[in-house]
Structure 1
Amino acid sequence: MEWFEQAQAAEQRRDWDAAIALVSAHAECYSIDPHRHDSHLWHVDLLARADRLSELTERALTDVHARRRLNTSLRERGMEAALRNRAKDGDRGALYVLVRLLCETSRTQEAHRAVQDFGPDDQYAHQIVARFRSPSGGAQ
Structure 2
Amino acid sequence: MEWYEQARAAEEIQDWDTAIALVSARAACYSADFRAHDSHLWHMDLLVGAERFTELTELARTDVHARRRLNRSLHERGMDRALRHRAEEGDKGALYLLVRLLCETGRLPEAGRAVEDLGPEDEYAHQIVADVPAPPSGD
Q: TM-score, normalised by structure 1?
A: 0.93
- CA distance in structure 2 between the partners assigned to 1:49 and 1:128 by the alignment: 29
Amino acid at match of 2:112: H
Alpha carbons 2:10, 2:18 under 8 Å: kept: yes
Give the equivalent residue in structure 1 for 2:30: 30
- Partner of residue 126, structure 2: 126
- Asked if the contact 1:112–1:129 (Cα under 8 Å) also holds between the matched residues in 2, the reply is yes
Q: Aligned partner of 1:61: which letter?
A: R
TM-score when scaled to structure 2? 0.94
1:61: how far off?
0.3
Mapped contact 2:59–2:67 kept (Cα < 8 A): yes
**Cα gap change, 1:109/1:91 in structure 2, threshold over 3 Å: closer, same or farther?**
same
Question: Would you say 1:71 and 2:55 are equivalent positions?
Answer: no
State whether residues 83 and 95 of structure 2, in contact with CA within 8 Å, keep that contact through their aligned partners in structure 1. Answer: yes
Q: What secondary structure sits across from 1:106 in the alignment?
A: coil
Report the residue type matching 1:12 in the other structure: E
How far apart, CA to CA, are the structure 1 residues paired with 2:7 and 2:130? 43
**What whole-Å deviation, never above 9, does each CA across 1:61-118 have from its counterpart, x for those lacking one?**
0011100111111122332111111011100010011000000111111111101111
Contact 1:104 1:139 in 2 (8 A): no
How far did residue 139 of structure 1 move?
Answer: 8.4
Distance 1:76 1:7 in 2: 25
- Flag the 1:111–1:139 CA change in 2: closer, same or farther, 3 A: farther
Q: Who is 1:9 aligned against? A: 9
Once the two structures are TM-superposed, the CA of residue 9 in structure 1 deviates from its matched residue by 0.5
State whether structure 2 residue 100 is matched by structure 1 residue 100.
yes
Count of matched residue positions in the alignment of Structure 1 and Structure 2: 137
Letter in 2 for 1:66: A
Distance between the aligned counterparts of 1:139 and 1:86, measured in 2?
Answer: 33
Structure 2 distance, partners of 1:79, 1:139, is 28
Deviates more, 1:67-76 or 1:13-22: 67-76
